[in-house]
Structure 1
């Protein structure tokens, strides 16, 4: 061997292994890839479901679009103009192109582009939903934490029973029934607030209350259960043994560990509030997406029905994504898909 080295012979060396890209294995990159896959799947299902609304609904869209008293020739002409005589796959490809370009056709009832109809109503629904979501978080989390604090270790069982019974009952009441009760009490009997319309700021109070009361109770129950478990953990008992104040223990040790579970479940609750806002709008005559979809169903305005359902699905998906991002920022352990 020494002779070979002296004569300049080379010795084979193991090739270095290619270095893996650090960026590809970064937790946030993996998180983004997983969420992008989920968004793509959700969007695909939304497009497919909204497309199948028209073929699966009873009745002939061409007859509706042609109007009352239309002749058979006019109906066939309308069917051709709307592309309803094309094969289903061709119709789906055209619909997908329209979704990607925000060209969802025109309303059968008014002849106005569907995107104009939908986006003109979106701000009214978003106003109720966003305010209701903020109030739900501001009420549900402190209320649940306070209930857990008051009843920890089996203390005050009467408070525990009243809290569980009251929040369960309120959450079980359908939001349209709750909306009707609010109208009867505060608008008809007391006359404090308007029963319908969106012309003034007070007209926003009752619809927002009807949307957020039930979810706030549900969130408070979740927080109370999780907080009660955390209050019995050894590190919280140790903190109490150090004679730290209740506020310090709650803010330093309980709330940070409570946020992971709370945010995870809150995403589903808050996304469901969009549907609640749509239902409540019909009770208060609020000019949002809920009123729009009811009118479209009555008029059998299929393009508008498609557009509103598609937009609501996209908004719910985006809301859950935002909650996931906030959760990942608060607790980086969830970037890998689970918290250890």
Structure 2
């Protein structure tokens, strides 16, 4: 019996759809398991701290009645299982507990500071991407071929140096030169566009160099591909060859690298916000550790985990759309 052509045509489509679904479900399950592990670790962090976390936060001179009242308010006088159940239930309703030092809801404090951290991270990512693509493409086109091997090595070396410089060191250098030396930008604070320039630049330089290196390497690989040789044989303009035929084939690799960069940018805000005294989540975790405000530390850890896991998940879902072959192979 002959199989109808419509069945033969739809079979590969169904296989691709199934592969994508399996990939997405696998990534969702992995993200959920990772978050549960982080949540349990954040909860146990307070429980395993030697001594009384409330006494450590309030200091040795705090009255016993004050310490006892705050312990009861935070639920630390309850059995461990009851505390875990209450904390998990509160998390489902957006309740991350109360800050010991400020006596304010942790969720409210982080909601006030999260937009600042996201603004710095996203702005740095935009600067990195906007700078990396033209730099990576231009250097790859210029360095293509054996005659320009020295240029290729020089570009790779320079980008490697920029990647290796810590962002907090760049922050200090920018303050010393662009702020104190030239007076071009404020050395600290937040609220005006000029105050955002130095934190964003300090955070973006390393990722820009990293992404430019990825674009450079991928572009060199694509420029020698057979389909580009065919395009050149048709005497198409170089700009058209690079934009229409080469760039789309490096998007997937660059997007994957961009996801790693964004995760690093979110984590990098801790030092950058501290150096520039920016009131974001990064500086909050430093001050909360100094004050031993454990509920606030827990909240920051959970928020950072959600940001990192959410970013990775969005990148994976974008890859399903842009490069289905790789995702199906992984599934």
TM-score (norm 2): 0.89
Deviations 1:110-153 (A, max 9, x none): 10110111111111111111111111111112211221111112
Counterpart contact for 2:162–2:205, Cα < 8 Å: yes
Matched, 1:51 2:37: no
The structure number with the bigger radius of gyration is: 1
Q: Distance in 2 between matches of 1:239 and 1:24?
A: 29
TM-score (norm 1): 0.87
Query: What residue is the counterpart of 1:5 in the other structure?
Result: none
Deviation, 1:85, is 3.5
Deviation, 1:273, is 0.8
Deviation, 1:66, is 4.7
Note the residue ranges of structure 1 that are not aligned, 5 or more in a row. Answer: 1-21
Deviation, 1:272, is 1.0
Higher helix share: 2
Q: Distance in 2 between matches of 1:332 and 1:140?
A: 25
Counterpart contact for 2:139–2:152, Cα < 8 Å: yes
Query: What residue is the counterpart of 1:268 in the other structure?
Result: 260
Q: Distance in 2 between matches of 1:337 and 1:305?
A: 39
Q: Distance in 2 between matches of 1:165 and 1:87?
A: 57
Which range moves more in the overlay, 75-84 or 196-205? 75-84
RMSD: 2.2
Q: Distance in 1 between matches of 2:49 and 2:158?
A: 41
Q: Distance in 2 between matches of 1:73 and 1:112?
A: 20
Deviations 1:290-315 (A, max 9, x none): 11111111111111111112111101
Query: What residue is the counterpart of 1:310 in the other structure?
Result: 302
2:103 aligned to which of 104, 111, 122: 111
Counterpart contact for 1:23–1:29, Cα < 8 Å: no
Deviations 1:55-103 (A, max 9, x none): 3445521213555423456544543442224333332222211211111
Counterpart contact for 1:65–1:78, Cα < 8 Å: no
Q: Distance in 2 between matches of 1:296 and 1:198?
A: 20
Partner secondary structure for residue 156 of structure 1: helix
Query: What residue is the counterpart of 1:240 in the other structure?
Result: 232
1:188 aligned to which of 175, 180, 186: 180
Counterpart contact for 2:137–2:215, Cα < 8 Å: yes
Note the residue ranges of structure 2 that are not aligned, 5 or more in a row. Answer: 1-13
- Equivalences, count: 318
Which range moves more in the overlay, 110-119 or 33-42? 33-42
Matched, 1:33 2:55: no
2:143 aligned to which of 139, 151, 155: 151
Label 1:270 to 1:83 Cα distance change in 2 as closer, same or farther (>3 A): same
Deviation, 1:278, is 2.1
Deviation, 1:179, is 0.6
Q: Distance in 2 between matches of 1:24 and 1:251?
A: 28
